[in-house]
Structure 1
Amino acid sequence: MLVGKAAVVFLVLVKLTYSAKILFFCPLPAISHQKVYRSVIEELAVKGHEIHVVTPNPVYNESIPNIVNYNISIMYDLVKQESNAFMLRWFLNKPNFISMIFRQVILSLGAGVALSEFPNFKEIQRLTSNHQTFDVCVIEWIFPGFAVYGYKFKCPMIGISSVGLQIPMLDTVGNPSYPVIAPDLDLPLTRSLDSLYERTWSLFWWVFTKLYSHYITLPLLDAKIKKYYGNDVPYIGDIQNNVSLILLNRNMIFHRNVPNVPAVIEFGGYKRTPIVENISPALKSFLDDSKRGVVFFSLGSSVPASLLQSHVTIIQEAFASLPFEFIWKWDQETMENKPKNVFVSKWIPQLMVLNHPNVKLFISQGGLQSTEEAIAAHKPIIGIPFHSDQTTNVDTCVHFGMGKMLDVKDLTVETLRSYILEVINNISYAENAAKFDALMKDQPQDGLEKAVWWIEYVIRHRGAKHLRSTAVDLPWWKYLMLDVFALILAIVLATVFIFYFILKFLFKFVSKLFKKKSTIKKKSE
């Protein structure tokens, strides 16, 4: 009896202490994106899994020793090397259709450069030389070409994104992308797509991005992979389509309601653990000593202040004319003609600042992580969107009464000043942010727990092919039911022709009959 109980206890302990070996491959050099992945990584590590993380922003936490970092911060240098001021302005400014095409070209070329450079990185060499396989490979799906590492390590793959994803990335699991209901992530469209212009743009972009991905991006990446990873590697499009599932930092309340296949898991709206960050004594004093309230102004890590060169004086004048204190995340530690009520710094611990009770308003570019953090802190937003999903994010805040949108081309001292006064003095904006935060988090399972559960699900079942949508394997003409429409058209045309010939025959028959009767009548007369 005692032996049996001991065996049960042993099996339970073995189950509880099971540790999977997980590779997290998130190479995008953007701290805002990396913060989302870090939350998932640390949650997995706390559960006892052995996590190997390829990232340009390693975080060394001594309390979690089972995280092994592979520092590829050289990615920041690579981006600077491959870009210039003109390209940056085109890439980051609020796009039109032409600049969107330009951006797509830059992204595909950039992905090709990164894939060709990765085998030369010492940290990647350390990874590939010390490990043959993993239980699962979690890959940043913004650049699904890195799925080649999932193939190399012979393990199931999971895609993950700190935002939504472009249409071609979602196509890898056969997710529907009807352009009016589920437009592409990067289009600067309003939440509801009310205008004919927006719907037309969405349709044309849907066609373009699918064609560009299939005929340009994938062949380009495949050529790079064959050159730098070996000719024995299968076509990259086929490797990508073997992804088990995709984890998206989307929330069904904040984002558009769109249809998803079972292999798309949304974990947005997760509860953020308070982070204790170093805060300078000067900044702390500036926040604590404010009597009238603080406005936090930051355009995030991806929008340099150089994009606002022609508007800096306008912003300074607006800030100087108001009775509040302002914290301005700036590219440098000093600013020429800085108003007395403004604190500038290259680095601001954003989460700590937003949660400070004296902060009344957040002026932001509308990036998803910044917007989520503001909502979680119950702070209203004035959004000045530039690129990607920022327009839609800010429009969502406007739609739910949490803030206002200000286009950079409409930026004047009067408009900025009036917007700030309206949002701060009207308490409903902050109250709506608090209500919306509660609505986002009212879920049967916290988003972070959901993401971890699904990663462990793929590990338990060694993949999730049973979740694979048949849409992944359908040719485009079958997916669009062109054969069905062709059959229906053929039947309709055949029916029309049959009726036409029947009517033609009847007409001739009746004509002959009347003609015959007329002839007989004439003869009888």
Structure 2
Amino acid sequence: MFAMFRLLCFSIIVAVANSANIFAIFSVPSISHQLVFQPIWRELSLRGHKVTVVTPNPLNDPTLTNLTEINVSYVYGTVSLQFLIDNSNLMPDQLVSMSVDHYVKPLIESQLNHSDVMKILKDNNSHFDLVISEMICSPAFGFAYKFNAPLVGMLSFSDLSAAFLAIGNPLHPILNPDMLLGYGKQLSFWQRVMSTYSQIRYVLRYDYEIMPELDRIARKYFGDDMPYLGDIEKNVSIILTTHNFITSKPKPTVPALIEIGNVHLKKNVKLPQDLQKELDKATNGVIYFSLGSNVKSANISSQLRNVIISSFAELPYTILWKWETDHLPGKPDNVITRKWLPQEAVLAHPNVKAFITQGGLQSMEEAIYYRKPLIGMPFFADQMKNVRSIAEHGIGVALNTDTLTKEKLKSAILEVVNDKKYKEKISELSDLMWDQPMSGLDTAIWWIEYVIRHKGAKHLRSPLLDLPLYQYLLLDVLAFVFGVIATTLGLLYAAYIYTKPVIQGVVGKNKVKSN
């Protein structure tokens, strides 16, 4: 009995010793971003860690006694990604620069001015063992300086050039072009030229314009004693980035870049009773149509909306459409609308035959898991690249909203539903995606606790971060090689010029003697 008591006490002491005080800030007001991170902060709190999270989408779960959520949901009304949709033809460096002005700056300042966040900022006795932050909201990295704590970065998408620069991961404009370019697997010659040009512009602009501006914002809240924000960013312990091999090509990664996937999948989600009945009786088949949380169907142009409606009206299927207002003008009889839908539960229903998507990463992961072929209709950001990958992997059809017609949309839906190759291919890829040694959530938690246990992960830091650009690009080596070649050729030429008269004299004398 006494031995059991001692064992229990020891277990309690170990549990307390292994628990950590974690501060996390997930700033982006988009449910698709938050859904990826929610299971992580939930699981950390369940494991005994004390977690404080700044989020626009709190879980509000009273059973999570170790979790404190600072609700910043009001930011949904302060920023919009419409500028990215309207300017999707700009270069990546231009889009990122615009994002700082129109999105990151007002977003992060609004959250840092929240009374509960300010209380933490002003409390000199506040202590945290770890800071977790989204990589696209860099000013929040200042919390790592304030608490003198290691930093873990997170991304809800892959292939972001800024994250690669922060972690010292090699950037290759041909093998892994910036996701904002929207290129596919194989690049044409001009795409390779543009990708190289784009990367040079991005690196220069990020280092000399974007990061200094982000640093200026951070200093308003963390003080002028704070190290340069770019240096804090480059000392991030690890970056956890959502990834799957469908939307992102295989690439070399440094140890501190950890790829996770399928973190947000809940499974066994139930449909509302009324919707369950609607889908059950749709034995002819259901086409699910959603443009995600950032692109609103209600905001698309009337021309595009009419093209979609006229196409749906001629289909023999029930259409389930995520439409965000009470009334859809010209709604056909075979269309059911809802302002919000439990997407996993919809995709799990056996009568759903295909999914029309904007190409969001989480939507694609869900479709692959539930083996539903896709019709891609992208609008901005990584959606272009993701939708292109749908066609490249043979799991659906890619459409262009700029040139979309009723016939093209109708033809694409009928092809995806009736041609078995799409269903077979997405089932094959689903098997591959889920054949993993660890789940994405378990991988994320293990690495976060690894950073906590070792108070950082400096030993994983890429040596690339300490190399000057000219050394990384081998400019000094190339200059030396070309210098040696030029010097050798110069000496040979000088020797030839110097000895030319002598050679000509000897040759001339030999000719006279022979004559």
Same fold (TM over 0.5): yes
- Which residue in 2 is equivalent to 1:367? 360
Counterpart contact for 2:377–2:399, Cα < 8 Å: yes
Indicate conservation of the 8 Å contact 2:27/2:107, yes or no: no
Shift of 1:14: 2.8
State the secondary structure of the residue aligned to 1:248.
Answer: strand
Compute the displacement of 1:286 (Å): 1.6
Q: Where do 1:387-398 residues align within 5 Å?
A: 387-398=380-391
In structure 2, what is the Cα distance between the partners aligned to 1:438 and 1:269?
13
Identify the match of residue 475 of structure 1 among 468, 473, 476.
Answer: 468
| Deviation at residue 276 of structure 1 after TM alignment | 3.8
Single out whichever of 469-478 and 502-511 deviates more from structure 2. 502-511
The answer to whether the 8 A contact 2:93-2:205 is kept is no
Q: Give the secondary-structure state (helix, strand or coil) at the position aligned to 2:77.
A: helix
> 1:508: Cα distance to partner?
2.8
Alignment match, 1:15: 14
Match of 2:426 among 409, 433, 440: 433
Letter in structure 1 aligned against 2:14: K
**RMSD across aligned positions (CA):** 2.3
Deviations 1:430-489 (A, max 9, x none): 232222111012122222111110000000000000000111121111111111111111
Stretches of structure 1 that go unaligned for 5 or more consecutive residues are none
Which whole-Å deviations, capped at 9, do the CAs of 1:253-282 have from their partners, x for residues lacking one? 5520111111100012458232646x5443
- Given that 1:158 and 1:455 are in contact with CA atoms closer than 8 Å, whether structure 2 keeps it comes out as yes
Aligned to 2:503: 510
Distance 1:127 1:113 in 2: 20
User: What amino acid is aligned across from residue 11 of structure 1 in structure 2?
Assistant: F
Tell me if 1:258 matches 2:251: yes
Question: Which AA in structure 2 matches 1:385?
Answer: P
Q: Give the one of 292, 295, 300 matched to 1:303.
A: 295
- Decide which moves more: 361-370 or 42-51: 42-51
Q: 1:205 aligns with which of 179, 198, 201?
A: 198
Determine if contact 2:159/2:248 at 8 Å carries over to the other structure: no
Kindly report which structure 2 residues correspond to 1:234-383, keeping only aligned pairs within 5 A, or say none.
234-252=227-245, 254-270=247-263, 272-274=265-267, 276=269, 279-305=271-297, 306-383=299-376
| Offset from partner CA, 1:203-246 (integer Å, 9 cap, x none) | 11111111111111111122222334311111111111110010
Decide whether aligned partners of structure 1 residues 364 and 226 sit closer, same or farther in structure 2, where only a CA change above 3 A counts.
same
Residue 119 (structure 1) aligned to one of 106, 112, 125: 112
Of 97, 106, 119, the match for 1:105: 97
The answer (yes or no) to whether the contact 1:142–1:165 under 8 Å persists in 2 is: no
Q: Can you list the C-alpha shifts for 1:386-413, whole angstroms capped at 9, x where unaligned?
A: 1111122122222222111011123111
Aligned to 2:157: 163
User: Helix, strand or coil: the match of 1:227?
Assistant: helix
Q: How many correspondences in the alignment?
A: 511
| 1:418 counterpart = 2:399 | no
Q: CA deviation at 1:43?
A: 2.1
Match of 1:44 in 2: 44
Match in the other structure for 1:496: 489
1:12 CA displacement: 4.1
| Amino acid in structure 1 at the alignment position of 2:151 | M
Preserved CA contact (<8 Å) 1:334 1:345: no
Q: Distance in 2 between matches of 1:62 and 1:115?
A: 27
| Aligned-partner Cα distance in 2 for 1:193–1:236 | 36
Gap change, CA 1:290 and 1:5, over 3 Å in 2: closer
Distance 2:5 2:427 in 1: 51
CA gap 1:496/1:128 in 2 versus in 1, 3 angstroms: same
SS of structure 2 residue aligned to 1:409? coil
CA distance in structure 2 between the partners assigned to 1:313 and 1:451 by the alignment: 44
Query: Do 1:144 and 1:169's aligned partners in 2 also have CA atoms closer than 8 Å?
Result: no
Report the Cα distance in structure 1 between the residues aligned to 2:49 and 2:247, rounded to whole angstroms: 31
Q: Give deviations 1:299-329, integer Å, cap 9, x for gaps.
A: 1111123234211111111111111111111
Question: In 2, Cα distance between the equivalents of 1:397 and 1:203?
Answer: 25
Q: Structure 1 pair 253/347, CA: closer, same or farther in 2 (3 Å)?
A: closer
Matched with 1:56 is 56
Tell me how far apart the structure 2 counterparts of residues 321 and 516 of structure 1 sit (CA, whole Å). 99
User: Are 2:400 and 1:407 aligned?
Assistant: yes
Name the counterpart of 2:127: 133
* Structure 1 residues 124-153: Cα deviation after superposition (integer angstroms, max 9, x where no partner): 124435662211111101222321111112
2:323 touches 2:337 (CA, 8 Å); kept in 1? Answer: yes
Rate the CA distance shift 1:339–1:518 in 2: closer, same or farther, 3 A.
closer
Instruction: Name the CA shift for 1:97/1:196 in 2 (closer, same or farther; >3 Å).
Output: farther
Is 2:246–2:389's contact at 8 Å kept on the other side of the alignment? Answer: no
Q: Among all aligned residue pairs of Structure 1 and Structure 2, give the percentage whose two residues are the same amino acid.
A: 36
C-alpha separation in 2, matches of 1:22 and 1:165: 27
For residues 362-397 of structure 1, give each alpha carbon's deviation from its aligned partner in whole angstroms, at most 9, with x where no partner exists.
000001011111111111100011111112212222
Residues 292, 323 of structure 1: 8 Å contact kept:
yes
1:175 counterpart residue number? 169
Structure 2: unaligned runs, 5 residues or longer: none
Report the more deviating stretch, 312-321 or 111-120: 111-120
Supply the distance in 1 between the matched residues of 2:169 and 2:93 (Cα, whole angstroms). Answer: 23
Equivalent residue of 1:172, what SS?
helix
How many angstroms apart in 1 are the aligned matches of 2:77 and 2:263?
32
Compare 462-471 and 439-448 and name the one that shifted more. 439-448
2:209 aligns to what? 216
TM-score (norm 2): 0.93
User: Residues 183, 395 of structure 1: CA spacing in aligned structure 2 closer, same or farther, 3 A cutoff?
Assistant: same
Structure 2 SS opposite 1:410: coil
Amino acid corresponding to residue 126 of structure 2 in structure 1? Q
What is the rounded CA distance, in whole Å, between the counterparts of 2:93 and 2:511 in structure 1? 73
**TM (normalized to structure 1)?**
0.91
Paired AA for residue 511 in structure 1: Q
Cα distance between partner residues in 2 of 1:372 and 1:206: 28
Closer, same or farther in 2 for the Cα pair 1:269/1:513, shift >3 Å? same
Cα distance in structure 2, aligned partners of 1:76 and 1:400: 35
> Displacement, 1:348?
1.2
